[in-house]
Amino acid sequence: MKTIAKGGEILTKQGEGELPSPQDFSKFKLSLTLEYEFDYLEVYTPLEVVEFLKEMHLSILDKPYRKELSMYSRKGFKPGHKARLQGFTDQLSLTYISWLMCVPGVSENKAIAVARSYPTYTNLIEMMTNTQMTEKEKKAKLTEIETAGIGGEKGKKLGKAIADKLYFYFMSIDPNVIIN
């Protein structure tokens, strides 16, 4: 099979034939990058590859009607209307909530709860770097953060697993550690 780009079109020919010249192949690659939007994901370990493929598969199963799968993520990283309804209207607060939502396991409700307790990144880091508290006390403070209840129900606490992830995410000094 032979594939070349000609005038922005991809041509495929069956059978034996010559491979495209390096110049034709470069034109083909350029054509691809100009005509299609690419997202790149760098993975280093087989586990990361498996996790990405799993997320991609589950995303397609969850929402097969979407044309663009936004890096196959099942969770959006932009806060919806919940944040605005709870009083977070400025762009900086919404970005802070989006950032918190990037931590695996942190939903919009949990990110909003953290943002209510620690309105800025500085507030959150000041608590986590407080030398008067032990690591266990810092994680306990995060654990006790309560999410908003739905329909008059009592809200749930953030929990130990999410508190550990948040603490590890912000306090880790090893850039190669994968948080899942």
What does the pLDDT look like over 86-124, one tens digit per residue? 888 888 888 888 888 878 888 888 999 999 999 998 999
Q: Which of 127, 131, 138, 129 is nearest to 164 (CA)?
A: 138
| Residue 179 domain flag | no
Same domain, 105 and 130: yes
Q: Do 89 and 146 fall within a single domain?
A: yes
Predicted local distance difference test score (pLDDT) of residue 38: 56
pLDDT for position 69: 46
- pLDDT value, residue 74: 47
Q: Which of 74, 99, 132 is the last residue of a domain?
A: 74
Query: Which backbone phi and psi does 12 adopt, to 5 degrees?
Result: -125, 130
Which residues of the chain have a pLDDT value below 50? 1-2, 4-6, 8, 14, 67, 69, 71, 74
Contact 14, 1 (CB under 8 A): yes
| Overall number of domains in the chain | 3
Any domain includes 177: no
Residues spanned by the domain of 10: 2-35
Predicted confidence at residue 177, as pLDDT, reads: 66
d(CA 2, CA 19): 6
Supply the pLDDT for residue 28.
78
159: CATH: 1.10.150.670
Q: Are residues 15 and 84 in the same domain?
A: no
Residue 145, exposed/middle/buried by CB under 10 A (0-12, 13-18, 19+)? Answer: buried
Domain-embedded: residue 178: no
pLDDT of residue 132: 95
Question: Given this model, what pLDDT does residue 54 score?
Answer: 77
Q: What pLDDT is recorded for position 173?
A: 77
State pTM to two decimals: 0.56
Q: Decide if 10 is inside a domain.
A: yes
Q: How far apart are CA 117 and CA 124, in angstroms?
A: 8
Q: What is the C-alpha separation between 101 and 78, in angstroms, rounded?
A: 8
Residue 107 has a pLDDT of: 84
